[in-house]
Structure 1
């Protein structure tokens, strides 16, 4: 399989940074076109009710997400790679899947956050949700654990 187009779902977390590192290495090796996606979640108060979220709250959240996106773009530039960056609003898994389909991705790269079974059941898993819905391959990168001294 040749990976010509790779979508990186990036949230700025340590796990997301580890995924970005692995994915950037892979993209450099295969010469893939890169797309960096940052997803701005819908605030819970707006998602489950008809409450209007104040615009300054949305602006603050967008500024934070945009900063994360710019940080990721800089990592690609430092690696000598070009990348298209975009912010989308919504639930992470569906937004990632839609964007992957839109850009005709061959691979999506996401990070993995280690959690217990109850926490994973309660909060869900983006990687697990993507397994059944993505139109392409999925790389779930793991942050390497430090050895106990």
Structure 2
């Protein structure tokens, strides 16, 4: 069976990305879509959070964690009856996802999002889905948030 759609799931193991995985699974089954899962290692972001002191050991632990997270996502999709291919990429999340979506002609990109509140809304980084919406012309961006408590 050939797929009419190609989906890309951005997965990092957070509760938001787990909700995105669930939505991606539902969409994939409904649309008979092929699924790629991408997990991004952002050494520049991690280095900034560690005040420029990211060691080789810490870098390898980031990569190891991302590989484990990627395998977890592929396993959860398989449990739902979805066959997925996993990719580990490096760089800023918006850059890496945009590059992957363009190279693999992704029709739908599914990403989890945490709504920021208060000062974090103004001080935090720009949400990835906004950058992706500007960069990925012709792709549908599905942003999944957690229900409010």
TM-score, with normalisation over the residues of structure 1?
Answer: 0.86
Q: How far has the Cα of 1:83 moved from its partner?
A: 0.5
Q: How far has the Cα of 1:128 moved from its partner?
A: 1.3
| 5+ long unaligned stretches in structure 2 | none
Structure 2 partner of 1:145 = 148
Q: Is the 8 A contact 1:3 1:107 kept in 2?
A: no
Q: How far has the Cα of 1:131 moved from its partner?
A: 1.4
Rounded to whole Å, the distance in 1 between the matches of 2:16 and 2:106 is 21
> Partner of 1:140: helix, strand, or coil?
strand
* Change beyond 3 A, Cα 1:39–1:45: closer
* Change beyond 3 A, Cα 1:118–1:70: same
Within the alignment, does 1:128 sit opposite 2:130 as a pair?
yes
Q: How far has the Cα of 1:116 moved from its partner?
A: 2.1
Rounded to whole Å, the distance in 1 between the matches of 2:83 and 2:46 is 37
Structure 1 partner of 2:20 = 19
Question: Once the two structures are superposed, what CA deviation does each residue of 1:95-130 show, in whole Å capped at 9, x if it has no partner?
Answer: 111110111000100011010264233322111111
Q: How far has the Cα of 1:36 moved from its partner?
A: 0.2
Alignment length (residue pairs): 143
* Change beyond 3 A, Cα 1:117–1:138: farther
Question: Once the two structures are superposed, what CA deviation does each residue of 1:52-73 show, in whole Å capped at 9, x if it has no partner?
Answer: 8432221111111111111101
Rounded to whole Å, the distance in 2 between the matches of 1:145 and 1:52 is 36
Q: Is the 8 A contact 1:19 1:143 kept in 2?
A: no
| 5+ long unaligned stretches in structure 1 | none
Query: 1:11-90 counterparts in 2 under 5 A?
Result: 11-44=12-45, 46=47, 53-90=54-91
* Change beyond 3 A, Cα 1:44–1:4: closer
RMSD after superposition: 2.1
Rounded to whole Å, the distance in 2 between the matches of 1:75 and 1:44 is 27
